Amino acid sequence: MKRTIEDIHKGYSKKDFSPSELIQEYLSKIKNLDTKINSYTEVFDDKVVKHAKELDKILHKNENNFLFGVPISLKDIFLVKDEKCTCSSKMLKNYVSNYDSCVYEKLSKRNILLLGKNNMDEFAMGSSTETSFFGPTMNPWDISRVPGGSSGGSAASVSAGFSCASLGTDTGGSIRQPASFCGIVGLKPTYGRVSRFGMIAFSSSLDQAGPLANSVNDAAIILDSVTGFDSRDSTSLNLKPTNSYNSLINDTYSFSDFTFGVPSKLLEIGLDDEIKYKFDELIKNLKKLGAKVIDIDLPYAKYAVATYYIIAPSEASSNLSRFDGIRYGFSEESENGDLIESYINNRSKGFGEEVKRRIMLGTYSLSSGYYDAYYLKAIKVKQLISNDFKNAFSNVNSILTPTCPELPFKLGEKKNDPLKMYLSDILTIPANLAQLPSISIPLGLSNQNLPIGIQLTGNRLDEVNLLKMASLLEKEINFTKELPKF
């Protein structure tokens, strides 16, 4: 049985188990079963066992700390001092960080138990966790299928019960899409709500850290723990930490308090039949429950994928230029000692195919003569997409769609067709471009026993109401299906 953060907190309060006993349970699961899933790049066995023994001694002093002694994992994009941070790339396979990311700093102050680092698409570039240097991650619901990406290792570990929760990153859907594919909750906060300090950059104007968890309440607990202004991140918003969990459990609210917007034109093409049926049934039920559901238009959202695949690769080409094998990263001495040849050799062998593809796309878009035609135009369309959302939020509290247009696909099915792979994120990318908070929660299972997720996108900085709406839906849907054995 999978435990939530709230379950563990109650268990400690009742003295049902100690941190040491709990961590052994998780480590045993990982050791026995993760060979089939490959959700971790590294497990901190000795370190976390030692930390758990220390927490055993102070258990009675932490009754108000919900994250005390909770086994959590991190996507292998967050720096942890004296530990490897590889971004699942050959380029960084031996890189050891000399400082902590802001996200981990905040979590460690809460005395979490850090289980290890989760597998991911290389440098967070992918939608299936198949581009990892350490091999693909499998979906716990069906190990012949992908868990989504790029935070696929994080989603799979939470779904399989190998961690209670995980921190991932979302640049174009990389928290929400794998959450949908793995039947868990995934939250992307407002851009700037969570510090990016110590989080290896992919696309600086789009990247945002957020939780993957087993419940909306758990996601709120983690969100409250990692938010707040950080002067080390120039994009960090000067806001106080959120207090969304207290609002969730103490405020009075119902479906009749909220208006949901459905962009029906955006959902006309490419939606899987089973997903469409489940989504239509949900809309009917929402109306019966007293929610107001209205049709809205997001006319520029159809350009989101094209816009994203100019902006994100352009920023990636700049961010990844530092990985040259000279200052740090994979290095192999050139035969004739030529500097330029060394750069080419190190980057050609250190980066995988998808990363090289995006670097080339981005470099081309930023090059002389093409900047105005591609990158500048994409920035203008990004603003138009943002304006669409602003107009919509004058009439609705959230925008409701399926998280993904398709069910989890087979391993290898799209690996050699990048364009088909990119379209997996067609419903998640708009929220990133508009820098809005967005959450995926489980809706149910398909006839093939594969998870289906729904997505709620909220107004800027309105995580509290977004989580309230998600919580109402979660209780109504009551997704309690057990994982098949793998």
pLDDT in tens, the chain (486 residues): 789 999 999 999 999 999 999 999 999 999 999 999 999 999 999 999 999 999 999 998 877 899 999 999 999 999 999 999 999 999 999 999 999 999 999 999 999 999 999 999 999 999 999 999 999 999 999 999 999 999 999 999 999 999 999 999 999 999 999 999 999 999 999 999 999 999 999 999 999 999 999 999 999 999 999 999 999 999 999 999 999 999 999 999 999 999 999 999 999 988 999 999 999 999 999 999 999 999 999 999 999 999 999 999 999 999 999 998 888 889 887 667 688 888 889 999 999 999 999 999 999 999 988 999 999 999 999 999 999 999 999 999 999 999 999 999 999 999 888 888 888 899 999 999 999 999 999 999 999 999 999 999 999 999 999 999 999 999 999 998 889 988
Q: Which domains does the chain have, with CATH numbers?
A: 1-486 (3.90.1300.10)
Q: At how many degrees (to 10) do helices 216-226 and 463-477 cross?
A: 160
> What distance separates the 2 farthest-apart alpha carbons in the chain?
74
Q: Identify whether the C-beta of residue 184 lies closer than 8 Å to the C-beta of residue 161.
A: no
Residues near 383 by beta carbon (within 8 Å), at least 6 away in sequence: none
Q: How many CB atoms lie within 10 A of CB 194?
A: 30
Report the distance separating Cα 97 and Cα 425, nearest Å.
31
Query: Which stretches of 320-396 are DSSP H helices?
Result: 339-350, 353-366, 377-392
Report the distance separating Cα 54 and Cα 136, nearest Å.
35
Nearest to 330 by CA among 126, 137, 123, 154: 123
Report the distance separating Cα 441 and Cα 215, nearest Å.
8
Report the distance separating Cα 398 and Cα 435, nearest Å.
14
Report the distance separating Cα 174 and Cα 128, nearest Å.
9
Report the distance separating Cα 131 and Cα 250, nearest Å.
43
The residue assigned the tokens 């049926």 is 277
Query: Which stretches of 197-338 are DSSP H helices?
Result: 216-226, 244-250, 273-288, 304-319
Report the distance separating Cα 45 and Cα 399, nearest Å.
42
**Per-residue model confidence (pLDDT) at position 458:** 98
CA angle 141, 143, 145 (to 5 degrees): 85
DSSP one-letter string for 103-126: HHHHHHHTT-EEEEEE--SGGG--
Catalytic residues: 75, 150, 174
Nearest to 239 by CA among 57, 55, 18, 464: 464
H/E segment holding residue 240: none
Q: Identify whether the C-beta of residue 80 lies closer than 8 Å to the C-beta of residue 173.
A: no
Q: How buried is 128 (Cβ within 10 angstroms: 0-12 exposed, 13-18 middle, 19+ buried)?
A: buried
Nearest to 447 by CA among 249, 278, 208, 324: 278
Query: Which stretches of 102-238 are DSSP H helices?
Result: 102-109, 152-159, 176-182, 216-226
Residues near 210 by beta carbon (within 8 Å), at least 6 away in sequence: 167, 168, 169, 170, 175, 186, 187, 188, 189, 194, 219, 223
Report the distance separating Cα 92 and Cα 38, nearest Å.
19
> Which bin fits 138, alpha (ψ -120 to 50), beta or left (φ > 0)?
beta
Q: ω into residue 195 within 30 of 0, thus cis? A: no
The residue assigned the tokens 């429950």 is 289
**Per-residue model confidence (pLDDT) at position 297:** 97
Q: Identify whether the C-beta of residue 234 lies closer than 8 Å to the C-beta of residue 453.
A: no
Report the chain's C-alpha Rg in angstroms: 21
SS3 state at 34: helix
**Per-residue model confidence (pLDDT) at position 334:** 66
Distances (CA, A) of 200 to 219, 329, 391, 437, 482: 22, 13, 34, 21, 35
pTM: 0.97
Residues near 204 by beta carbon (within 8 Å), at least 6 away in sequence: 196, 235, 315, 319
SS3 state at 430: helix
Structure tokens at 15: 């003295």
Q: How many residues does the chain have?
A: 486
